[in-house]
A and B are shown apart, each in its own frame.
Chain A
């Protein structure tokens, strides 16, 4: 099999072609193809074990695809160029925060890692943005789930990335906290920033996205423009697609 490589296109933030990922005998991704334009917001749905987290891991160059190519911000993820890493921010199941440090110490540390200039001021600014300034000297270990999640956002955006990967950001948040998160995501979703979010929450996911995808068993079962979809009928469509792809 010859691999055709997508040619870098400045209008596209993410170009994925034929991505596969094996874990031993298990094939977690079985050929994923899609392109996401700059500034677009993609909501990725799919049942547990579909391969969503695996895909984000590959796109953020944490793990390597078994085959296929992916360009993120024009860089091949296999090369893991530092310039590419600077374009990416990730919010995942884990907070990536040091429990014994304070928010300020954490964010300033990551700012330094990303080579952000005047790390201290920038850290304070993003902590303020997520509303944690009053607690910025407390120990992160004492934070609630919602506060941790907000601090994760601060960590992910401290270097002002143009692409954000959000892996189930609403998990474990109460209504109030997910309301705040939604507002923050809306503020982050500018023309300049591309967002890929996985979620199990249909209404949150469909709320502000431009594109909708459903992944089942390592393949995209649906790829659609958000304005082509009827939110009221989405649950039925989702269940249909999952059942269809599950048979195939």
Chain B
């Protein structure tokens, strides 16, 4: 790693990394007594239950179908009896439709290959891969939870020439992708090959920030055995895991405002997704478990767990030796983009990458003071926006200005608010601006 290290060029911040659980190997968490499976686990339409109360289900059995084109199937992560189909708590703080299953034993669908052997040879063809990925309920595992198969079908007229695998993990604290790369490197590379085949691309780049030199070396070593896959070390900078930022950093291509990565010939998938693709395609295994980091400054045993979807957060915290007395906030995800939870009953879902326990003293926002027009928010914005201006426009209801000043380009990375010396909750206003402008645009199209 000599010379200028690659990274994205516009904006960016470097918060304390705090990767406390980086050296904790992935542990398999015992099964929960009850699995709570929300129907809204993916971006897009929620899934529709196809089981009834009292049904007996096996691990891997389809229990809910995609509720639209942009939606995903859900398979049972446990075996047992369907207790109820009702509203269940989810990370949003609301109760929404879900399936609750009382766990009995651990009986799997026979079609799933549970052997530990690594299967190299890819038998399915491109179309079959996409079908399989769709059938097995795969969604983006970096947190955005966009259905994976949709990204594998570029719209007519668009072709991909590069697959980018996101191993950046730029959020402070989180280490689930890091551990996965160290422990399931081979599977990730085969998963990458499978994705390349589905997309018909010859080249793939795995982007990893160089605060994970062990992962860079390991994947680099393994990648020698796979044609067309290259590892790109990146200088640590948040939010490098953002799709547009990663493409800029690794390939120096700039996705036009308002467009998707495919516009510049790229498809981005997370390393966790590549692993899930391997399991779905080679082992016929649906997306029913994932790696979740449990961490925080006061956590006694910062850990990485392999967890079945539907496991309540409480059980993960217990396994990390309990909730510290000082806890004041529990975040589902990383500290920059995660969501604060209202209760510990909330279950792990396909997109949960970490549970961050923040101490009381770190939990509250600092008091807001007037904007001193220092432009620091503008300097750090990775999208080249003027957060102070957009926030003000949203605050006073001038959504026309917010739209003209490109509020819809905001990726909600929080860099502006993190940096603001006046501690203005800029992102609160930006989210308001985005949702209002989004509604205005939808209305106009009608």
Asked whether A and B interact, the reply is: no
Please give the residue numbers on chain B whose beta carbons come within 8 Å of chain A beta carbons, in ascending order: none
Residues of A within 8 A of B (CB): none
